[in-house]
């Protein structure tokens, strides 16, 4: 594991613990916890949250959590998910296999599997499968974008050995998505990593274990060697290059103070070029900046405002 990933896991765990300190589940939210949706009993688990006083089918939000591809789980997003459930949605909050223990496309396969689970358990949990939405932030925004490509780009889908079951594939549709502080174009035109700080994450996510072991046998890998080894994999995780007109409408969010702020207009430009619908929203000001994935801090007014607006955007597609 790279130093970047080790630092991410330690620092983010402490930060998320402080962020969620004192938060509890309201009595009117019914939780269904630790449901296994795939073959891996440790990673393939999910929660469902919904208002116990709202009967019948509810529109669904699938949460694709962030964490630099190496950190995060349904536990770290539970209170954010509950906030969305307060707004009248049934929320599916899932964990997926993380790098470096599980290389890409493990996380994409898990996203495909959880979507199939959603379809096959709709009647049990009151999911309205005609109104399915999804939100993803940071690395989760990247993964959600790739999932959209998997759904709407046969050439991309054909590169992977897994598919959604035929019945689910025929009926599963994302009505709209929330792309929050995400990473959508990580490589430059020459195929090399744009942000040097991302090199460790990309190596952990993409580098073939056998190739890495063989290269390391000749000595410690340099940054240039790592960059070269992962360059050929860029085509799999470049969201901006995969957007087409069939992509679901997107609420694209960033903020002043977000270290990935420049990524949001890249995604919007890709949407515009493809003729797909999108809206770009930038929160905070230069005088009063916010921070990366501020919307997950549900106690703060700006987080509440963003989540309100995003859910209102979804309602336009009911």
**Does 34 have pLDDT greater than 90?**
yes
Please list the residues that pair with 178 across neighbouring strands. Answer: 135, 251
The whole-angstrom separation of Cα 233 and Cα 212 is: 14
Distance between CA atoms of residues 113 and 44, nearest Å = 9
Q: Residue 93 is encoded by which pair of tokens?
A: 């909050």
Per-residue model confidence (pLDDT) at position 47: 98
Task: Provide the whole-model pTM.
Answer: 0.94
Q: What is the pLDDT of residue 223?
A: 66
CA distances from 12 to 16, 56, 72, 178 (A): 6, 37, 8, 22
Q: Where are the alpha helices (DSSP H) in the chain?
A: 3-19, 78-86, 106-120, 122-125, 139-152, 154-157, 166-171, 199-206, 209-216, 223-231, 234-237, 263-274, 301-315
Average pLDDT over residues 145-154: 97
User: Structural domain boundaries of the chain?
Assistant: 3-185+238-315
Whether 217 shows a pLDDT value over 70: the answer reads no
pLDDT, average across residues 167-171: 90
pLDDT at residue 191 greater than cutoff 70? no
Residue 84 CA to residue 88 CA, distance in Å, equals 7
Quote the pLDDT of residue 207: 83
Quick check: 229 and 210 in contact, CB under 8 A? no
Higher pLDDT, 204 or 213: 204
In terms of average pLDDT, the best of 2-11, 77-86, 159-168, 225-234 is: 77-86
Weakest mean pLDDT among 156-170, 174-188, 230-244, 291-305? 230-244
The CA distance from 243 to 294, in Å, is 26
**Gap between the terminal Cα atoms of the chain:** 43
pLDDT of 220 reads 58
The tokens for 179 are 């792309």
Q: What is the mean pLDDT of residues 71-79?
A: 98
Please determine, for residue 205, whether its predicted confidence score (pLDDT) is greater than 70. Answer: yes
- The mean pLDDT value for 239-266 works out to 97
Q: Around 314, how many Cα atoms within 13 Å sit in the side-chain half-sphere?
A: 25
Given a cut of 60, is residue 218 above it in pLDDT?
no
- Determine the Cα–Cα distance for residues 160 and 109; give it in Å rounded to an integer: 9
14-29: pLDDT as tens digits: 999 999 999 999 999 9
Topology at the third CATH level for domain 3-185+238-315:
Rossmann fold (3.40.50)
Look at residues 48, 47, 49 and name the one whose alpha carbon lies nearest to residue 27.
49
Rounded to whole angstroms, the Cα distance separating 284 from 305 reads 11
Contact 284, 306 (CB under 8 A): no
Give the helix/strand (H/E) hosting 29: strand 29-36
Please give the average per-residue pLDDT across 175-186, as a whole number: 96
pLDDT confidence band for 52 (50 / 70 / 90): very high
Packing angle, helices 199-206 and 223-231, rounded to 10: 50
Task: Measure the CA–CA gap between 38 and 172, rounded to whole angstroms.
Answer: 17
């Amino acid at each position: 594991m790279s130093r970047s990933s080790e630092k991410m896991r330690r620092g983010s765990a402490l930060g998320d613990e402080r962020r969620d300190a004192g938060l509890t589940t309201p009595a009117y939210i019914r939780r269904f916890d630790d449901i296994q949706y795939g073959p891996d009993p440790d990673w393939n688990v999910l929660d469902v949250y919904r208002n116990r006083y709202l009967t019948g089918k509810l529109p669904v939000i699938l949460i694709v959590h962030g964490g630099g591809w190496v950190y995060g789980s349904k536990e770290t997003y539970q209170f954010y998910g509950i906030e969305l459930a307060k707004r009248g949605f049934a929320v599916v909050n899932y964990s997926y296999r993380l790098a470096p223990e599980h290389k890409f496309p493990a996380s994409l396969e898990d996203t495909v599997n959880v979507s199939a689970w959603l379809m096959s358990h709709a009647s049990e949990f009151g999911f309205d499968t005609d109104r399915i939405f999804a939100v993803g932030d940071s690395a989760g925004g990247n993964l959600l974008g790739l999932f959209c490509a998997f759904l709407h780009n046969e050439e991309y889908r054909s590169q992977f050995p897994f598919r959604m079951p035929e019945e689910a594939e025929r009926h599963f549709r994302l009505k709209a998505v929330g792309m929050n502080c995400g990473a959508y174009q990580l490589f430059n035109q020459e195929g090399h990593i744009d942000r040097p700080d991302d090199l460790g994450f990309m190596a952990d996510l993409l580098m073939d274990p056998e190739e890495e072991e063989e290269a390391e046998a000749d000595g410690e890998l340099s940054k240039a060697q790592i960059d070269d080894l992962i360059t050929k994999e860029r085509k799999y995780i470049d969201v901006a290059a995969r957007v087409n007109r069939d992509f679901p409408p997107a609420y694209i969010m960033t903020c002043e103070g977000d270290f990935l702020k420049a990524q949001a207009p890249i995604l919007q430009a890709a949407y515009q070029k493809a003729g797909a619908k999108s809206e770009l929203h930038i929160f905070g000001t230069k005088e009063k900046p916010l921070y990366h994935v501020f919307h997950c801090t549900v106690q703060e007014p700006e987080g509440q405002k963003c989540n309100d607006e995003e859910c209102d955007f979804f309602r336009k597609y009911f």
